Amino acid sequence: MATYNLTAPLTKEDTKKLKAGDVVYLSGVLYTARDAAHKRLVELLEKGEELPFPIEGSVIYFVGPTPPKPGDPIGSAGPTTSYRMDSYSPTMLKHGSLGMIGKGKRNQAVKDACVKYGGIYFGATGGAGALLGKKIKEAEVIAYPELGPEAVRRIVVEDFPVTVINDTYGNDLYEMGREQFEVKE
């Protein structure tokens, strides 16, 4: 397993070199969206309309951050359980997004879409939202402010730590871990 420093938006050259278990320190621009925002974003894509951000190479962080303390760009920003985005993620990948950040496992359709479209599912450490929030240097709501914490934000991150869970080759770190420690009779 390797360690990489990458800048978002990502390219397919970036995603093709990553393998499940690799550690990545992301810098650059990410977008935040949870299930309510994903529903709206996918509806726009299905109508052939543009998203409120450039989707090509984008990395979407599944997060609903807390309000910032005075002088901070964002509050605690821990990952949301990702399966709630499973019905939307294949469409996002099909239209050019290349990365997703959350916690927990994904369904087979998402894993298949990662292989087909060159996408990566990254895991961020749940319970470390205060620490992850410190890696966010800028944050601004760019769409759906009425969703409150679930509004779409453009965030700028520096050395944001994630682990590759599902890669472009169909590997799944959670399954690999189970196989490694499975009791053989």
Which of the residues are catalytic? 38
Location of structure tokens 């319970």: 127
CB atoms within 10 A of CB 48: 6
Instruction: Give the gyration radius of the chain's Cα atoms.
Output: 16
As a three-state string, the secondary structure of 110-152 is: HHHHHHHHCCEEEECCCCCHHHHHCCEEEEEEEECHHHHHHCE
Decide the pairing of beta strands 59-61 and 23-32: parallel
The amino acid occupying position 138 is: E
Phi/psi of residue 3, nearest 5 degrees: -120, 135
Location of structure tokens 């005075």: 70
Q: Do 162 and 176 form a contact (C-beta atoms < 8 A)?
A: no
Instruction: Return the SS3 of 103.
Output: strand
